A and B are shown apart, each in its own frame.
Chain A
């Protein structure tokens, strides 16, 4: 058995968001971005951009780091936040991304004028993929 030294001694959540469901049919992704992060990692791995085990190692490290930092009884574990961080780690480590690139581009997106959206209600500037830099 692999050890889990240092992991929190939390009470199993039986009512809240992480509650054990009794049957099939739970939503797979809590929010749309989680599905995009999932889809990116699987696509990249299937295309051979990185090996799944390389990603998994980063995911394990990110989860362990969260648990070490959060300490015992910490609520609010977000699996796909660790997943996203691991995905960036792999891409940075392999030179596909610069270390601060995603943060920088996030800032560009955050500065978009209010009212942009993906529903397209007649603003006339499309789907937002043309940010140019």
Chain B
């Protein structure tokens, strides 16, 4: 089987592949640059944070978001690859949701950008399924003993976005200010949104 199991450095191999594909007019480096720049600079967890903050402050949007995540997210102007079917799960008093992709690293790009390295790591992908409470504790999140943990495995069809608990002390905050509190990790379910 061909592939980087041999000794060719991946940087060289990637350069060779890109040259071959450019020659065949299968890829346009300028189009690639645009995709890369988009995911390096423009699409990231701030999109998801805006979605979360709006759900916290707009009850009708909250309802729409839980009923049809993809449509409600699109309504905010966020869509594209890996955003075709996003399901939103809300943290609750008796249940804590956490997301993984055990097989690769499916992730809702339009709202969170590209996944962080720990999400792709074999240790996270295998262990969070078997011992989520221990893994979350190692990541700095102690889930109360009386709160059950549900682990959601992303698939080819479904990507998940977690709607975190709104922190206490933010009752009079508007959506824009709230969005600044929401972290990527809270939207994957490995953290809570901290109180201001």
By a beta-carbon cutoff of 8 Å, the part of chain A in contact with chain B is 1-4, 7-14, 17-24, 26, 28-33, 35-40, 42-47, 49, 52-53, 56, 59-60, 62-64, 67, 74, 77-81, 84-85, 87-89, 91-92, 96-97, 99-103, 105-110, 129, 131
- Which of B12, B20, B28, B184 has the largest number of chain A CB atoms within 10 A? B20
Contacting residue for B102 out of A2, A29, A87, A131, CB 8 A: A2
A56 with B118: CB separation less than 8 A: no
| CA gap between A101 and B3 in the complex, in Å | 10
A13 in contact with B123 (CB, 8 Å):
yes
What would 10 more interface pairs be, CB under 8 Å, given A4-B125, A103-B2, A109-B15? A12-B121, A20-B190, A22-B191, A28-B113, A29-B40, A39-B36, A43-B35, A84-B13, A108-B16, A110-B8
Determine whether the beta carbon of B10 is less than 8 Å from that of A84: yes
In the assembled complex, the Cα of A39 lies from the Cα of B32 at a distance in Å of: 5
Contact indicator per residue, chain B 119-153, by CB within 8 Å of chain A (1) or not (0): 01111111101000001001110000000000101
- Does A80 lie within 8 Å of B19, measured CB to CB? no
Q: Is the CB of B33 within 8 A of A102?
A: no
Report chain B residues within 8 Å CB of A4: 102-103, 125-126, 129
Could you write out 10 A-B pairs with CB less than 8 Å apart? A9-B126, A20-B140, A22-B191, A28-B39, A28-B114, A52-B82, A84-B14, A92-B2, A97-B17, A103-B13
